[in-house]
């Protein structure tokens, strides 16, 4: 279901990201000679600081929510034209990397946009954090809601670097990586569509508190997060195809994303579900947490 955000809210968020992009670009221009990846990270951090300033000004940390999908698209598009040392001219592999990143990022940004209700709406996790840290919320918000996810997305995009610096021809491993990334994007999109349809049906029937076990949700408690983790594995495989020697250090990206969801995001979501839906305990017993798998029979 499409929930159109007020035009003013959309304009403000758009302006925030334009200013953040300008700050990142200005940071790159001002930096002296340094390792290219460090320069990109500092520019990424500058953009994050700008978005945090908007979050603080409007008392809404959800200003950061689109950053997760927007920043990787910007980096993927900019890298081949960056002029950074070692970056090869735009070639087939970087075009492939950019294409899968844009397919993923555009879908995820659209999914955020269609469910965003405006500046009065803030992610439920941030609302809970406000209650947990009433005095230190904004330092916490910068560290945990803004900067830490920026570090995660930067790390997950590390395989873009070997893809941008390699001149090796495309090979079968590139096709495997692209298939994983695009397949993961389809899984995320399908899971989000199934959940929206289920919630719409529940709303029309006036039912609350039921647990979605429709489609992928009957095989995984978090198929959308499975798709997210799988996407970054696909990106990593393309990076490995570009430079097998870089496989180890670029694996920090997908491993970090998996750890973020398994040890952070999913436990928070499931704690909330258990508090709101007593039957969720049985759902947890029967249905796989992340990887889609046939469910166990009911007790």
Q: For residues 258 and 264, what is the distance between their CA atoms, to the nearest angstrom?
A: 10
Tell me the pLDDT of the chain (299 aa) as tens digits.
455 567 888 899 999 999 999 999 999 999 878 899 999 999 999 999 999 999 999 999 999 999 999 999 999 999 988 888 888 888 899 999 999 999 999 999 999 988 888 888 899 899 999 999 989 999 999 999 999 999 999 999 999 999 999 888 999 999 999 999 999 999 999 999 999 999 888 888 887 778 989 999 999 999 999 999 999 999 999 999 999 999 999 999 999 999 999 999 999 999 999 998 888 999 999 999 999 999 988 76
CA dihedral 255, 256, 262, 268 (to 10 degrees): -170
Cα within 13 Å of Cα(118), Cβ side: 8
For residue 244, what pLDDT is reported? 95
Burial class of residue 132 in the structure, from the number of CB atoms within 10 Å of its CB (0-12 exposed, 13-18 middle, 19+ buried): exposed
For residue 114, what pLDDT is reported? 85
Q: For residues 76 and 66, what is the distance between their CA atoms, to the nearest angstrom?
A: 16
Do 29 and 140 meet the contact criterion of CB atoms below 8 Å apart?
no
Radius of gyration for the chain, computed over Cα atoms and rounded to the nearest angstrom: 20
| Phi, then psi, of 165 in degrees rounded to 5 | -105, -10
For residue 4, what pLDDT is reported? 59
Terminal Cα distance for the chain, rounded: 35
User: Chain-centre distance of CA 5, in angstroms?
Assistant: 21
């Amino acid at each position: 279901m499409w929930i159109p955000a007020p035009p003013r809210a959309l304009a403000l968020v758009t302006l925030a990201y334009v200013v953040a992009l300008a700050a990142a670009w200005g940071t790159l221009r001002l930096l002296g000679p340094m390792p290219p990846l460090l320069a990109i990270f500092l520019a990424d951090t500058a953009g994050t600081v700008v978005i945090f300033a908007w979050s603080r000004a409007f008392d809404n940390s959800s200003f950061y929510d689109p950053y997760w999908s927007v920043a990787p698209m910007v980096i993927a598009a900019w890298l081949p034209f960056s002029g950074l040392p070692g970056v090869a001219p735009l070639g087939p592999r970087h075009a492939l990397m950019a294409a899968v990143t844009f397919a993923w990022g555009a879908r995820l940004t659209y999914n955020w946009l269609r469910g965003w209700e405006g500046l009065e709406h803030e992610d439920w996790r941030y609302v809970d954090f406000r209650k947990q840290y009433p005095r230190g919320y904004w330092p916490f918000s910068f560290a945990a809601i803004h900067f830490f996810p920026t570090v995660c997305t930067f790390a997950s995009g590390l395989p873009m670097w070997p893809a941008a610096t390699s001149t090796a021809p495309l090979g079968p491993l590139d096709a495997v990586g692209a298939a994983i990334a695009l397949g993961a994007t389809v899984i995320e999109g399908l899971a989000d569509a199934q959940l929206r349809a289920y919630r719409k049906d529940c709303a029309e029937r006036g039912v609350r508190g039921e647990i979605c076990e429709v489609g992928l949700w009957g095989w995984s408690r978090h198929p959308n997060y499975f798709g997210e983790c799988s996407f970054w594995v696909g990106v990593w495989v393309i990076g490995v195809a570009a430079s097998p020697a870089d496989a180890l250090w670029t694996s920090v990206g997908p491993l970090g994303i998996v750890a973020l969801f398994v040890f952070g995001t999913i436990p928070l979501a499931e704690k909330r579900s258990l508090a709101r839906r007593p039957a969720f305990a049985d759902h947890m017993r029967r249905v796989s947490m992340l990887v889609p798998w046939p469910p166990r029979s009911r007790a």
